[in-house]
Structure 1
Amino acid sequence: MKMMLPFSLPRFSAAFCLCILAVLVLSCKKKVPAPEQEPVVGAKHVDLSGQFLERDRDLILDLNADGRADLLMKVLPIAFDLNTKTKLTFQVYATGVSRVAVNVTDESSPALRKGDQVFFGSFSGYEWFPANPVIIMEKVSSAEAITWQGAFLSEEHRFLPLQLLQEGKLYTAWLELSTDKPGEKVHLHRAGIALEPGSTIICGQ
């Protein structure tokens, strides 16, 4: 015998059931908050015009005027290949109170252009390292030829991204420079330091 229910069950279409299921699934998903963006702030400018790096003329820069050396700049002459080749390496050194953005793969630093952003966090494959040297340019001489190399090798202005430690807080910064191959010099122009710690700044602004 068939059992008869005292009431009838409503019939739902397959499409209606799928709609109900989709609503239930979507309502159960957790909402992931969007990552917070770093604030973009203005920068305090430091005039460095007239200063330049060349062989036997090292530079010590105290960009935030707190009495501590933020950057050291040197030219290192190196002989290699059984003294058949020489290399002049123009370098910037971060100190214990500064950091430079470094690619951990090849230990290079980005040569930014005016309008590029300097982020407080790691960016585009670069991470912040203290007490680390960065090569601005190199002159390689041999009996056959003289060649120049380096990410900052340009008469146009380039910007080295930095972080400076002041009163226990890190401030993003940039160093504006250009290179002079005939004169074998690196010319400094300006530096910019964020007005607030933990913020993003724009090169040249």
Structure 2
Amino acid sequence: MQWYLCALTALLLATGCKKTTCECPPKTDDPKMEYTELNDKAVGFNSSYSLDLNKDGEADFSFSTLLVGDPVLRRDYRQYYIVSKFYTNCLVNGNEETPVLQKGDKIGSLPPEGFHWYNASHVVIAQKIIEENGTSWSGNWKQVAHAYQPVSILKGDKTYYGWIELSFDMQSEKIILHRAAVAKDPNVEVKAGG
């Protein structure tokens, strides 16, 4: 009988002590971020919206619109743009365009080829071209859904990288602001959407 109990105990111990895999979240080296929920804020023509990403009480970036007339070419432009301030930056290329980043793209001191960090910038992300014989659209962001605008904020000699998630709806002619984030630690590379 004692032999039977020892065998049963050994069997229970052997079957009960299986090694299992941990369902713990993977460890990452991603920097801590300060997130701002923008709740799909719509910026339509003739309106604007400002963001304070680092929560210091001052607007860091603005989204706005402008009507520009060209009497020579006999056309109007409804422009939708992002504005950075003196201590905030957008990535801009030689054509005055800003890149459209996808989730996971890196944002840091080494920008995509052809782009540079510029402060006090006023960059058209999309524009409606209105002519006598019809309309058309131009701009990197004209048909974008849930993409990322890279940004950076300067404080002294430190740079804080971040992103703004946005869409552009050509049907309703609106910029849709979803959410934004900026790194809590300076001079560290971040991932769009991370």
- TM-score category by the smaller chain? 0.7 to 0.9
Counterparts in 2 of 1:155 and 1:101: CA distance versus 1, 3 Å: closer
Equivalent residue, structure 2, for 1:34: none
TM-superposed CA distance for 1:144, in Å, is: 1.1
Equivalent residue, structure 2, for 1:52: 42
**Match among 71, 74, 81 for residue 64 of structure 2:** 74
Equivalent residue, structure 1, for 2:54: 64
Q: Write the distance in 1 (CA, Å) between the matches of 2:61 and 2:55.
A: 12
- Matched position secondary structure for 2:40: coil
* Deviation larger for 114-123 or 195-204: 114-123
1:192 counterpart letter in structure 2:
A
Q: Write the distance in 2 (CA, Å) between the matches of 1:202 and 1:77.
A: 34
- So what's the TM-score if we normalise by structure 2? 0.79
TM-superposed CA distance for 1:135, in Å, is: 1.2
Per-residue CA distance 1:77-103 (angstroms, 9 max, x = gap):
011134731110001111012001111
- So what's the TM-score if we normalise by structure 1? 0.75
Q: Write the distance in 1 (CA, Å) between the matches of 2:152 and 2:50.
A: 16
Q: Write the distance in 2 (CA, Å) between the matches of 1:180 and 1:107.
A: 21
Q: Structure 1 or 2: larger strand share?
A: 2
Q: Write the distance in 2 (CA, Å) between the matches of 1:43 and 1:204.
A: 10
Q: Write the distance in 2 (CA, Å) between the matches of 1:134 and 1:72.
A: 11
Equivalent residue, structure 2, for 1:193: 182
Does residue 1:156 correspond to 2:157, yes or no?
A: no
Equivalent residue, structure 2, for 1:106: 95
Q: Write the distance in 2 (CA, Å) between the matches of 1:120 and 1:46.
A: 22
Q: Write the distance in 2 (CA, Å) between the matches of 1:192 and 1:184.
A: 25
Q: Which runs of 4+ in 1 moved over 2 A?
A: 39-44, 81-84, 120-123, 165-169
Q: Which runs of 5+ in 1 are unaligned?
A: 1-38
> 5 Å matches for 1:1-205?
41-82=31-72, 84-103=74-93, 105-166=94-155, 169-205=158-194
TM-superposed CA distance for 1:42, in Å, is: 3.9
Work out whether residues 42 and 201 of structure 1, in 8 Å CA contact, stay in contact via their aligned partners in 2: no
Per-residue CA distance 1:132-152 (angstroms, 9 max, x = gap):
111110000112121011101
TM-superposed CA distance for 1:72, in Å, is: 1.9
Work out whether residues 85 and 119 of structure 2, in 8 Å CA contact, stay in contact via their aligned partners in 1: yes
Work out whether residues 79 and 86 of structure 1, in 8 Å CA contact, stay in contact via their aligned partners in 2: yes
- Matched position secondary structure for 1:147: strand
Count of residue pairs brought into register by the alignment: 166
- Matched position secondary structure for 2:39: coil
Work out whether residues 34 and 54 of structure 2, in 8 Å CA contact, stay in contact via their aligned partners in 1: no
